[in-house]
Amino acid sequence: MSEQPNFSDLGNQIDLAAKLLARSTHTVVLAGAGMSKESGIRTFRGEGGLWTEHGEPPMNQFDCFTSDPHAWWERRLNEGRNDSFGRSIDGAQPNPGHFALAELERLGIVSHLITQNIDDLHRLAGQNSITEIHGNRHWLRCLDCELRWPRTQFVIDAAELPPICSECGGLVKSDTVMFGEPIPATALRRCHEETALADCFLTIGTSALVYPAAQYPANALSRGVPLIEINPEPTPLTSVANVVIAGPSGKILPAVVNQIHNELDH
Ligand code: NAD
Ligand code: ZN
């Protein structure tokens, strides 16, 4: 897939998206791994995706954690997280797509962002209203009361593993949602509430195959809410979206924001 979209072909779709967004006061966004590809973080699915090349990882990570949280934490503290995917996240910076999306929030168009990404790049770009439906690599979470802490603010005593929540005594784990782990109820509730209020829905860089995330654009569509998709490759949403912009979000989103400024100036 070309990283250099032909803007004369895409111009019409960008224009249509800008018109829909300029009229909206409660756009909800669902973002996926494609959003961070231009920040140097690989996707799992799609062209060049980690799983596309190496196959899917074991799906029982959460069972491993709950069956022996002490051993899991001991391994984590001793071995760290020195995999190449993790290193690419730790060194990453937001790309122009992240900044353009934060600008849509400042303009009063985007009300809420549901992201499947764990990389923290939306927050670094200045986005405020975010549900990280699969957690955040740099945070920890209590499995019982769902309280979350930045890793840097939680002191872990290697002699007292696993770490325990100071509020409720529950088990503390990394915030990233593991395979087999239920998504925190507070996150799911917020996504439902925001989707119910949406007057426009925007999906960016998601294969729209992972549930429950993929259900939110479908729910909005079923209420007649216009759906805009930004993704260089087709997804199950492509045939039902009102506007499809087939290009990389790091280039498309700044172009959409420029066009919105033109719309708002007239
Ligand atoms: P995915 O890997 O399943 O799909 C990525 C999608 O991005 C594909 O449809 C692909 O066509 C599209 N894409 C590729 N390059 C793009 C670009 N430049 N601009 C826009 N779109 C582009 O991702 P997913 O649907 O988000 O689901 C996989 C899960 O993997 C997520 O739940 C997430 O938790 C996790 N993940 C997170 C990160 C991260 O935090 N950056 C990275 C990889 C995977
Ligand atoms: Zn707790």
Whether residue 1 lies inside any domain: the answer is no
Cα separation, 24 vs 224, whole angstroms:
14
Distance (Å) from CA 229 to ligand 1 centroid: 13
Cα separation, 222 vs 202, whole angstroms:
14
Give the pLDDT score at 3: 46
Cα separation, 94 vs 41, whole angstroms:
11
Cα separation, 225 vs 166, whole angstroms:
42
Question: The tokens of 180 are what?
Answer: 């087999």
pTM for the full model? 0.93
Strands, sheet with 148-150, edge to edge from the N-terminal-most edge strand = 148-150, 139-142, 172-174
CA angle 101, 182, 78 (to 5 degrees): 90
Distance (Å) from CA 35 to ligand 1 centroid: 7
> What is the number of structural domains in the chain?
1
Cα separation, 115 vs 147, whole angstroms:
19
Whether residue 5 lies inside any domain: the answer is no
- Other C-beta atoms closer than 10 Å to the C-beta of 78 total 8
Whether residue 4 lies inside any domain: the answer is no
DSSP three-state, residue 20: helix
Supply the residue whose CA is at minimum distance from atom 10 of ligand 1.
46
Cα separation, 176 vs 192, whole angstroms:
20
Give the pLDDT score at 82: 67
Ligand 1 pocket by Cβ (under 6 Å)? 32-34, 36-38, 41, 43-46, 49, 116-119, 134, 205-207, 210, 230-233, 235, 248-250
CATH of the domain at 60: 3.40.50.1220
- Residue owning tokens 């995999």: 83
Whether residue 2 lies inside any domain: the answer is no
Give the pLDDT score at 88: 87
Q: Which atom of ligand 1 is nearest to the CA of 206?
A: 25
Give the pLDDT score at 182: 94
Whether residue 3 lies inside any domain: the answer is no
Distance (Å) from CA 249 to ligand 2 centroid: 37
Give the pLDDT score at 78: 86
CA 87 to chain centre: 18
- Which amino acids are annotated catalytic? 134
CA 201 to chain centre: 14
Give the pLDDT score at 59: 63
Whether residue 249 lies inside any domain: the answer is yes
Whether residue 223 lies inside any domain: the answer is yes
Give the pLDDT score at 172: 97
- Residue owning tokens 């799911």: 188
CA 265 to chain centre: 31
Q: Which atom of ligand 1 is nearest to the CA of 31?
A: 26
User: What is the domain range of residue 54?
Assistant: 10-265
Cα separation, 62 vs 257, whole angstroms:
40
Average pLDDT per run of 10 along the chain, which is 266 residues long?
Answer: 54 96 97 96 83 72 92 88 80 96 98 97 98 95 96 93 96 94 96 98 94 94 97 95 97 97 86
CA 161 to chain centre: 30
Whether residue 230 lies inside any domain: the answer is yes
